[in-house]
Structure 1
Amino acid sequence: MSVADHLRRVRDVTLPLRDILEQRVDEPHVPRWCESRGWATFLVGLSESELVDAEAHGLLRAMPERAPDSLKALAQDVLSVTSLPRVSGSTPLGTEALRNVRLRKRAQLSGLLAAVRRMADAAERVVDVGAGSGHFTRLSADLFQREALGLEQSAERVASAKRRSTAALASFVAVDALAELRLERGDLAIGLHACGALGDHLSRAVASARCGLALVSCCLQKIPQDVRLPLSGGIELRREHLGLANLTSQPRGVEASIEVTIGARQTRYALGQLLRARGVPLEPGAEMSGINRRQANAGLARVASLALALRALPPPTDHELAHHDSLAAKDYALIRRLSLPRSMLSRLVEVLVSLDRAAHLEEQGLGVRVAELFEPAVSPRNIGIFANPDAGLLPAA
């Protein structure tokens, strides 16, 4: 099946669900899309153990038998169109080259290096876009014995990458790749967790240069405009639709257990209610703006103090904290249940955007493969888009 055909299948499943994408569950009330489909009684009646199971493994895979037929059918459709092949293989990496690099990052680097090996051997230059600390740049220069250029917006990170690197063929430049990205036909462009708009920009640049690409997308919602326009046959998606792709169902997340993650979300909900009660206008999800999201693990008192201080408002009172903590414990339990069908669409959104980018590359005559690059435990953002003028050099899947 071509990328374009796969994209059409995903789009056909997504279009009838636009009302679900449009209405996120922010309050303990049954949304219109849930009522109209007859799902409310089932969702509200989920036991705590069923709810936790669905949050840990996803409603797609933890659907109770008594669920409405229409909900079960939707789950099967989503599973079918979001199923992707897996690229296997890893590259042994010396510990000396990866000092102070976390184990998950090492696994990502190892998997990506193995996946692009044949493309890199045929390329004249590796261009690592959004190079960060420069790990992939210097590793690829050593492994493939090719010129490797790391492009990074942060001058501080570029300076750090230069200090770390001993690879003669590796170089680093501080540049905003969204403004200045020049690729040549012989390049292999790399975007390991290229955020938001950078993924689209890199896809367009590769299509124009007709060079090689390995792109793993991340944080799709980080776009300058309110709406992402498709590059090919996708659909328009608003920023909040794109943010849905960040949701991941697994017993233990990248940073914490599911219990800690749900507790942090409940704290964020309580914070939003506290701020609104203080008269602060808030967009959905904006309650933690300016605050590191990990602070939510410390509880409401901590994040409320920070959020109010940022707005030059008096600190929270003990009564406020107790009141909103208590309300959140009751209301958020209902919100969690009613949110399950919408959360079920997170992978659908991510696959839709990935296939839209890949179809744009395919339209320019490039060989393209879209596949999972590593296990979700290594990173839930694991969809790789691989493109090359010679399709025979794409990673096997």
Structure 2
Amino acid sequence: MPGVSARGLSHAERRQLAANLTRVLSLYRSLLDAYIFEFFTDQLWSTLPRSWQEALDGLNPPQLAALLLGMPAEGDVVRYRSVWPLTLLALKSTASALAFTRTPGFQTPSEFLENPSQSSRLTAPFRKHVRPKKQHEIRRLGELVKKLSDLTGCTQVVDVGSGQGHLSRFMSLGLGLKVKSIEGDRRLVERARRLDRELLHALEKEQRRKPQVAPTGPRRSPQHVVRWVEPAALCDELLLPLEHSPRGGARLLLTGLHACGDLSVTLLRHFCCCPEVVALASVGCCYMKLSDPGGYPLSQWVAALPGCELSYRLREGACHALEEYAERLQRAGPGLRTHCYRAALETVIRRAQPTLRRPGVQGIPRVHELKIEEYVQRGLQRVGLDPQLPLNLAALRAQQAQENRVVAFFSLALLLAPLVETLILLDRLLHLQEQGFHAELLPIFSPELSPRNLALVATKRPLGQAFSVLETEDG
């Protein structure tokens, strides 16, 4: 997807971008605040300007992917049936111009050309128990951390929110880094230790089979620590050295792969407050779980901008996978009807029990194979209502006929979602700059594989031209 590169923007340009983003988000806040499952109950289609309705009505999913979301297409798909209103064209252009680009400077699909389930860039022992998405993520972030560690002279890496330790294992046993791995769930830590032992055994076995192949680094497993890292307090455990450096104190690099909600902000706080921490490489996610206040805004500049507030709904929308949904639109599969079915279910729920609003509906398997009345019956059961309630089948059929409108409205909101993520990440960049530090955002994952793919990289001294090394793909 097009966008503006976060890399190399001046401080003034970043501030101006933040101001532009808050103005645009304020202008379209009603669109972003809407819940798609309230499409019928809140008559969301009628909230759009009439000219937008006329332009979008009747477009099929591949046309929406091409004409609205900018996906490549051929033939009749890319032909406008009518002249679009300037306001809608302006929205499309603005969304593209103001969002940070999530397109990395490498061709990721080649990594999975030989086998879509196995990364050709990782050796077999590091792929075991790891899904393709995670294989790609641990390799890319691990290699970036290794380069950043070398550039900043770090003595150890601290992986916060490490889960089963896949990233920590690759950095330590694959790249030779000294790694401390911190995770609050004891069960995950116990599994991480078992996987460490299994990987060590596999590497030793491979070494015996191929003694001519030298190991890539010392066989040092990560040190796993069971510890919750509290958002509001500094954690001493993060700062404890694995071993004392002969030259003095530890120089730490903090990293987190999709550190959830406040955990990403906590890493920033440790970086800013702790002299021992000299570098940061963090990929955030789950923006809706940010504390309010405390998690956003962080920078003085963004906090002073009118309209900077981001509701839970806006932050939740920023976590959607635009590229993945655009591909679904191109394929025009039956799975796209889910939103329409859920919106129809909401109308039945509110008629049956008006006080039950926005209930969570557990996943209903194989939605695309169900008739709309079958889905509604199962949905009623999921929320504790009688599945045998009499249904107005004519009304349900009429709602089902508006499936493309539901998809079009959701696509509009999704078009704007990257602007929310851009503002959240831009706020973090500005906060670090206000503290006198050096920070950039790099798209390090393929967005088709990993939508939250912007890594926040920060150092306490400028790296100059050496920073460009972090953007390259290892051979």
Q: With structure 2 as the length reference, what TM-score do the two structures score?
A: 0.71
Structure 1 segments unaligned to the other structure (5+ residues): none
Q: Deviations over 1:292-330 (max 9, x none)?
A: 47675675677656654554433345x539567524413
Q: Using a 3 Å threshold, how does the CA distance of structure 1 residues 301 and 212 change in structure 2: closer, same or farther?
A: farther
1:76 matched to 2:93? The reply is yes
Q: Which amino acid aligns with 2:345?
A: L
CA distance in 1, matches of 2:191, 2:375: 32
Match of 2:387 in 1: 315
Whether 1:214 and 2:250 are equivalent positions in the alignment is no
Assess, with a 3 A threshold, how the Cα gap between structure 1 residues 302 and 216 changes in structure 2: closer, same or farther.
farther
Return the match for 2:49 from 35, 39, 53: 35
1:163 to 177, 181, 194: 194
Query: Aligned-pair distance for 1:170?
Result: 0.5
Give the AA of the match of 2:166: H
Of residues 278, 285, 296, the one that matches 1:229 is 296
In the TM superposition, what is the alpha-carbon distance from 1:353 to its structure 2 partner?
A: 0.8
Residue 273 of structure 1 is matched in structure 2 by 347
Read off the aligned partner of 2:192 and give its amino acid letter.
A
1:101 partnered with 2:114: no
**Pair 1:186 & 2:260 matched:** no
- CA separation of 1:264 and 1:328: change in aligned 2, threshold 3 A: same
Q: Does 1:196 align with 2:261?
A: yes
The 5 A counterparts of 1:1-397 are: 1-2=9-10, 5-23=13-31, 24=34, 26-28=38-40, 29=43, 34-35=48-49, 38-44=51-57, 46-48=58-60, 51-55=61-65, 58-60=68-70, 64=80, 66-84=83-101, 86=104, 88=106, 92-121=121-150, 122-166=153-197, 168-179=220-231, 181-182=235-236, 183-184=238-239, 186-209=251-274, 210-225=277-292, 229-232=296-299, 233-234=301-302, 235-250=308-323, 259-279=333-353, 281=355, 284=358, 286-288=359-361, 291-292=362-363, 299=370, 308-309=380-381, 311-317=383-389, 319-320=390-391, 322=393, 325-392=396-463, 394=467, 395-396=470-471
Q: Is the alpha carbon distance of 1:267 and 1:321 closer, same or farther for their aligned partners in structure 2, counting shifts above 3 Å?
A: farther
**For this pair of structures, how many residues does the alignment match?**
389
Distance in 1 between the 2:46 and 2:428 partners?
Answer: 32
CA contact (8 A) 2:439 2:458 kept: yes
Distance 1:324 1:189 in 2: 55
Q: Deviations over 1:65-118 (max 9, x none)?
A: 722222222322221222437355999421112212111211111111222222
Report the AA paired with residue 387 of structure 2: P
Relative to structure 1, is the Cα distance of residues 59 and 281 closer, same or farther in structure 2, using a 3 angstrom cutoff? farther
2:350 partner amino acid: R
Shift of 1:345: 0.6
Deviates more, 1:240-249 or 1:202-211: 202-211
Does the CA-based 8 Å contact 1:129-1:191 persist in structure 2?
yes
Mapped partners of 1:282, 1:387: distance in 2: 46
The normalised TM-score by structure 1 is 0.83
Seen in structure 2, the aligned counterparts of structure 1 residues 227 and 67 have a Cα distance that, compared at 3 Å, is: farther
Distance of 1:332 and 1:196 partners within structure 2? 33
What's 2:200 paired with?
none
Alpha-carbon distance, 1:249 to partner: 3.3
Amino acid at match of 1:396: E
8 A contact 2:183–2:226 mirrored in 1: yes
Shift in alpha-carbon separation, 1:368–1:348, aligned structure 2, 3 A: same
SS in structure 2 at match of 1:193:
strand
Q: 2:228 aligns to what SS in structure 1? A: coil
Residue pair 1:227, 1:238 contacting (<8 A) in 2 also: no
Q: Secondary structure at the match of 1:386?
A: strand
CA distance in 2, matches of 1:363, 1:293: 47
Q: 1:57 to 1:306 in 2, by over 3 A?
A: same
Q: Percent identity?
A: 22
Shift, 1:55, TM fit: 4.0
Q: Distance in 1 between matches of 2:312 and 2:266?
A: 16
**Greater C-alpha radius of gyration:** 2
